[in-house]
Amino acid sequence: MHYLSIIVFLVLITGTLIITAHAAHNIKNDKDFYAAGGSVPGWQNGLAIAGEFMASAAFLGISGLIAFHGLDGEIFSICWFASFFVVLILVSEVIRNSGKYTVTDIVSYRMDPKKIRPAVAVTIFIISLAYLIPQMVAAGALSRILFGISDTLGILIVGTLMIIYVSFGGMKAATWIQSIKAVFLLTGGYILAFLTMSHFDFSVPNLFAAVAEAPDLGKQWIEQGGWLSNPIERYSLGISLLFGTAAMPHVLMRLFTVKTKQEAQKSALWTMLFMGMFHMVTFIFGLGAAVLVGRKAIAAMDPGGNLATPMLAQYVAGGAGTFTGELFMAFIVSVAFITVIATVSGLCIAASTAFSYDFWFKVVKNGQQSHASQVRTARIAAIAIGVMAIGVSLLLKNVNVAYLSGLAFSIAATVNLPAIILALYWKNFTTTGALAGILGGIALSLFAVVGGPSFMGKDAIFPLSNPGIVTIPLDLLITVVASKLSAREVEEDKYIELSVRAHSGLGAE
C-alpha cells in the first residue's frame, strides 16, 4: 500500500504547491496576505471554513471513536455543526464590520490598545500552537503507519509544507487549498458512505441491526452513554466544543476574507451546509468499520482507532491485496494527510498574524509600517513559528499530547468568545475587565486541563476532562466583576461608535 499512498500523496501535494506559487505571485500587500485581499466569495469561504473542521479529527478521529465506543462519538459532529449557529447569529456580521484582520481589532477598539493587543495576541498564539502541535504529532504517527516512514520525517514533511504554504501563499493559498481539500473530502466521504451502505442494502436500520447483532458490539453501540456516561462531562464537552469552535482564531480570521457582512453571513450558512453534508455520514464510517472490518482488526493496526476509515475504504473497495482496495485506501489516506497540512497551515497563519500584525505592527511600530514591510514581517513570523512548531512536535512525538487540543478549545471558549461578545454588546466592558478575563481565563484553563484527568489521569485534582462548564461562567464572572470595579474606564462614545460600525458597516475596513 505504501507506494500507492506515496504516489497519490505526491500528486496532490504537487497540485497544492502550484496553487501556492500562483497565490504568491498575486500577493501585493498585507491585505492579500492576511485576508486574501478580502475578495473570497461567500460560498468558497464557507467551503474553506468547513475544510478547517473536516480535519483529521473529524475524518479519522470521530470514525475511530464511534467504531470503538458507539454513537456517543457523534457529539463532536453535532457540536461542530451547531457551533456555526453561534457564529451566524452572534458574530459573523459584526466581526466582519468591526475588524480588519483579527478579532484583536474588535476587543481593542474600545480599550487601551497598548495593554489589550499584546494580551489577546498571546491568547491567540497559545490557542494556535496548542491546537497545531497535536496535529503535527498525529501526522508523524500516521505517516509511520500509512507511508512507512519515521515519525520524525513525517513531522518534518508536514512542517516544511506548512511553512511553504503560509510564508509564500498566505491566506490566498490557504483558502484555495482548504477549498479543494474539502471537495476531495466530501467526494471521497460520499463514495465511501455509498460503498459501505451497499453492504446493508442502503438502509440505516439494517446498519443499526447489524451493529446490534454483532457479538463484540451490541445494542449499546447505538445508544447514548456508552462512552460519556457522566452527564456533566457530556454537557461540558458539548459546551466547550460549541463555544470553543466558534471562537477558534483561524476560523474567525476567515470572516475578514470576504467583502461585505452579507458575504460573511453567507460564509457561515455555506459552512453549515458543507459541514452538515459531511458530518451526516460520519456515523456510517464508524459503525461500518466496526461491523465490516472489526474492532480487533482496527485496534491491531492502531490502538487509537484512527485507521478505522482507511481500513473501511480498503475493505469496501475490494479488500486487502486488490488494486481497487489499495488505491481507494491510498486516496483516503492521502486526503487525510493533506487535511492535516491544510489545518496546521491555517493555525500557523493565525499565530503569525497575532505576532506580526497585532503585536509588531500595531504595538511596536504604532501602525507605521509599509505594506511590503508588513508582508515581510508576516513571512518571517510564519517561518519562525513553523520552525518552533516542528521543534516542539519532535520533542513531544512520543508523549500523549491530546490534552493540548482540549486546552486550545478551553481557552477559546473561556477567553475569546466572552471577550468578543462583551466588547460588542456590553457598554460597561473595560480594559481592566478584559485583562482580568484574559489572564484569568488562561489560568483557569491551564489549571483545569493540566490538573484534569486528560493530563494527570487518576491523580487529577480537577474532576472533568472537559472543563468548559466550569471555566466559562467563572471567567465571565471575573470579567464582569473586574469591569464593574473599574467603571471609571468606560468610554461610552467608543461603545456607541463600535456598535454603529458593527451593525451598519459604516467605517468597516
- What is the reported pLDDT for 134? 81
DSSP annotation of 111? S
Are 278 and 63 in contact by the 8 Å Cβ rule? The answer is: no
- What is the reported pLDDT for 145? 67
- What is the reported pLDDT for 481? 94
Are 413 and 468 in contact by the 8 Å Cβ rule? The answer is: yes
Q: Which residues of 389-405 are buried (b: 16+ CB within 10 A; e: fewer)?
A: bbebbbebbeeebebbb
CA dihedral for 132, 136, 137, 139, sign (positive or negative): positive
- Kindly tell me if the per-residue pLDDT of 196 is higher than 90: yes
- Measured CA distances, 287 to 204, 237, 275 (Å): 10, 22, 19
- What is the reported pLDDT for 339? 81
- What is the reported pLDDT for 131? 83
Mean per-residue pLDDT for 333-350? Answer: 84
- CB atoms near residue 246 (< 10 Å): 27
- What is the reported pLDDT for 476? 92
Q: Is 211 helix (H, G, I), strand (E, B) or coil?
A: helix
- Walk me through the domains of the chain, giving residue ranges and CATH numbers: 2-504 (1.20.1730.10)
Q: Identify the band that residue 7 occupies on the pLDDT scale cut at 50, 70 and 90.
A: confident
Mean per-residue pLDDT for 113-130? Answer: 87
Comparing CA positions, the residue from 135, 108, 182 lying closest to residue 402 is 135
Q: What is the pLDDT of residues 451-490, one digit of tens each?
A: 888 778 788 898 888 888 999 999 999 999 999 998 887 7
- What is the reported pLDDT for 364? 87
Separation CA 199–CA 368 (nearest Å): 63
Separation CA 131–CA 403 (nearest Å): 10
- What is the reported pLDDT for 365? 87
> How confident is the prediction for the chain on average, in pLDDT?
84
Separation CA 452–CA 63 (nearest Å): 25
- Kindly tell me if the per-residue pLDDT of 386 is higher than 70: yes
- CB atoms near residue 147 (< 10 Å): 21
- What is the reported pLDDT for 445? 87
Highest mean pLDDT among 125-134, 329-338, 437-446: 437-446
Q: Is 224 helix (H, G, I), strand (E, B) or coil?
A: coil
Assigned C-alpha cell, 367: 501602525
DSSP 315-327: HHTT-TTSHHHHH
Q: What is the pLDDT of residues 33-47, one digit of tens each?
A: 888 878 888 899 889
Say if pTM beats, i.e. exceeds, 0.75.
yes
- What is the reported pLDDT for 175? 87
Sort 426 into a burial class: Cβ within 10 Å, 0-12 / 13-18 / 19+: middle
How many CA atoms, within 13 angstroms, populate the side-chain half-sphere of residue 44? 17
- What is the reported pLDDT for 243? 83
Comparing CA positions, the residue from 84, 96, 142 lying closest to residue 278 is 84
DSSP annotation of 493? H
Residue type present at position 114: K
Q: What is the pLDDT of residues 155-187, one digit of tens each?
A: 898 889 889 988 888 888 888 888 888 898 899
Are 76 and 57 in contact by the 8 Å Cβ rule? The answer is: yes
Q: Identify the band that residue 1 occupies on the pLDDT scale cut at 50, 70 and 90.
A: low
Angle, CA of 10, 12 and 17, to the nearest 5°: 90
